[in-house]
Chains A and B, each alone.
Chain A
Amino acid sequence: MSPGRRARDRSLEFPDVSEVSSNPLLEVDDLRTAFRTPRGTLRAVDGVSLTVNRGETLGVVGESGSGKTVLSRSIMGLLPARDVVRSGTVQFAGHEMTALPLSDLRQVWGAEMSMIFQDPMTALNPVVRVGRQITESLRLHLGLDKQEALATAVELLRSVGIPSPEERVRSYPFQLSGGMRQRVMIAIALACSPRLVLADEPTTGLDVSVQAQILDLLASLQRERHMAVILVTHDLGVVAKRADHIAVMYAGRIVERAPTRTLFAHTRMPYTRALMESIPRLSDASGTRLRAIGGRPPDLINPPAGCRFAPRCALAQDKCREEEPMLQPSEHPDHLFACWFPLADGQSASPPAGTPVTVSAAAPTPVGTPVAAPDPVGEPFPGPDTADGGGPA
């Protein structure tokens, strides 16, 4: 490609890392994404705020249906054109993503911000050789010619640990194992050295052994290239040693957010603790009964009143079912949680078997000042369903 093409592709200016390194790379404020469905408005992401610094890893953890995938797609702007309402702001490296037209977004996708999808078999084009799927963005964003791009693709495949990459660039996705396909996905996502990679359940379909390899690979490439990563997963075990910060999502909201060690050592929100406790541990004796979370996440068209986790929370009280708790700071730095009756350090989310719930006596009363209002000032989603939200804007 000619230099002219390259210049045009770079018309959207992204300042150098050094220029703005004091600001967060990504700043999401009160992001809301709702889908209009025949049954009513489904609020998949309902007022999420978060920041990600350069080179940092944020883990976003929640069950299926917690809105974590919609959150990552909303940050990127990868949403269906119809029947979607998005509000709030997404500041990425000095640009307001929600205000960018599609033509500008195309310059951001792949080049500055890219995504690793869960299922590499469906995310890769089955009838295109993997080499061409990698060179596509190299040629588009970096303006490399065919030969340069192919050479870079081979190097990328080598860097993601694919043996004999010169031959593998000519493979089709079906000729690769699941782990290899995920490595190809990573190579595609990293081809243009983006500043931010959103990895949406990148290892969920993979064996534990391959999962560890892929996550290690992602971490080492991240260090090398000083990328920020948002790692979206349902498994707290996956992010325990790999994320700097963790945000736990439930029913479209962040319910707890903290630096990783703080989150594990000083868990306040029973949902976070319940997620930790539901993971079978190798060190537990065989036959140890798992502490499962009963029920399932609520219907996001009609979420329960009060705390959205209350119907499944073993420690819930009347207040939890009536009033919604707001995110509030704990005594630890950068630690926010939304719970009326926060857990003490080391306290289980399930009451001891056979004893009635007596948490009210032990739990401290709510402390601190709310830092985020759970409800919008106005109604951001004009739609048929206004039953549970404020008046018209």
Chain B
Amino acid sequence: MTTTPATPEAATPAAATGPDLVLDVDHLVVEFRTGKQRVQAVSDVSFQVRRGETLGLVGESGCGKTTTGRALVQVQPATSGTVRFEGRDLGSLSAGELRATRTRMQMIFQDPISSLNPRRRIRDIVAEPLVIWGIGTPDERQERVRTMLESVGIDPDTAGDRRPQEFSGGQCQRISIARALMANPSLLICDEPVSALDVSVQAQILNLLADLKAEFGLTMVFIAHDLAVVKNVSDRVAVMYLGKLVELTGSDELYRSPAHPYTEALMASIPEPDPEHTTDHQGLTGELPSPLDPPSGCRFRTRCPYAQDRCAAEEPLLREVRPGHQVACHFPLGTSEAAPA
């Protein structure tokens, strides 16, 4: 034991504004400066995540989903807007308080191999969160390492003394997950955790995340570009495009009746493992516009098959078209307002 707080929870009393609300993101804006210009990577994004829920965050490269994920744990400070985690505004916390809070919110990354220190042994990598927080005796920590490695399907006896290079990508991702869960977080943010993996290994990791979520009562934010993967793990899905949230609803509802043309196009791009499969919709064409100079009005209008004059003139705001189904489109699909194709 050391003199640091015995448990990370001690530093983060649950100030309750609704115990079921783990994350409350309100008008989040993240800007980057490039030379004299400013880029809004995340542009006025609001959403909430309830306890035990998995929220999927989906979109193409450059849509701001990773920046959003980083802003949730304040690795990337918000330019404006607030991120409330378990009732506390993370932007108002001191550096020490924020550090203590982060034990409750952990992140796993896309490239499992480069997120593990190649020169350290697996047992030390996984034990590190406890060492940093001075939790437990060395023996207790190693016991916890054993338990966690077993939960993620890694044999602690053979793996503990080895180094990351001796493991495959899928195994490294399992080790990253074990490390993230060591300090008992309530929120796990997964940033493209399976994008670098083979489909066979991807399925193993997705099943593992589902099991761990149930076992440890986790709340998750799952970031990925593949809507089929996101749908599989998520209860609700938020679709992002060029820094904006364009659609937010339950995963099955999103698949059944996507209201935003971007969501529809994103779904049509997914390769179905079936030679007989056909789709009525066109996949996406063209490139993502530059976020330095986003299109006026609706940012998707330059690639939207249904775009009208109004889309260029007026920015659509996120609104509810059906209970629990929000969309930012002037002519949402599957509603009476839909534009003629």
Contacts and interface: CB of A to CB of B under 8 A. Distances in A.
A279 B231 CA distance: 12
Interface stretch (B83-91, B265-273, B309-317): B265-273
Contacts of A294: 204
Given A211-B269, A264-B274, A180 B204 contact: no
Interface residues of B, number: 48
Contacts, number: 145
B228 A282 contact: yes
A283 interface: yes
B306 interface: no
A63 B201 CA distance: 9
A165 B169 CA distance: 37
Contacts of B75: none
Interface string B199-242: 11111101100100000000000000111110111110000000
Interface string B244-276: 000000111001000000000111111111111
A294 to B, nearest CB: 7
Interface string A281-305: 1111111111111101000000000
Given A240-B272, A264-B274, A209 B229 contact: no
Contacts of A163: 287
Interface residues of A, number: 48
Contact of B206 (A179, A213, A238, A280): A280
A159 interface: no
A208 interface: yes
A210 B195 CA distance: 14
A291 to B, nearest CB: 7
A207 interface: yes
B226 A208 contact: yes
Given A212-B271, A237-B271, A292 B284 contact: no
Interface stretch (A10-18, A24-32, A270-278): A270-278
B201 to A, nearest CB: 8
Contacts of B272: 237, 240-241, 281-282
B170 interface: yes
A279 B227 contact: no
Given A234-B198, A286-B235, A292 B274 contact: no
Contact of B265 (A65, A179, A209, A260): A209
A21 interface: no
Given A209-B284, A213-B285, A292 B207 contact: yes
Given A208-B270, A213-B285, A296-B170, A240 B277 contact: yes
B275 A260 contact: yes
A208 B274 contact: no
A65 B198 CA distance: 10
B61 interface: yes
A287 B204 contact: no
A289 B206 CA distance: 9
Contacts of A284: 231-232
A261 B275 contact: yes
Question: Among the interface residues B61, B203, B251, which one has the most CB atoms of the partner chain A within 10 A?
Answer: B203
A390 to B, nearest CB: 31
Interface in A241-285: 241, 260-261, 264, 274-276, 278-285
A64 B61 CA distance: 24
Contacts of A237: 199, 270-273
Contacts of A336: none
Nearest to A296: B168
Contacts of A236: 199, 273
Interface of A: 63-65, 163, 177-180, 207-213, 215-216, 234-238, 240-241, 260-261, 264, 274-276, 278-294, 296
Given A286-B250, A288-B232, 12 more contacts: A63-B198, A64-B201, A208-B270, A209-B269, A209-B284, A241-B277, A260-B275, A275-B200, A278-B200, A282-B228, A290-B203, A292-B200
18 contacts: A208-B270, A209-B269, A210-B61, A216-B283, A234-B199, A235-B199, A235-B273, A237-B272, A240-B275, A278-B200, A280-B228, A282-B227, A282-B255, A286-B251, A286-B252, A289-B207, A290-B232, A294-B204
Interface of B: 60-62, 168-170, 198-204, 206-207, 210, 225-229, 231-235, 250-252, 255, 265-277, 283-285, 287-288
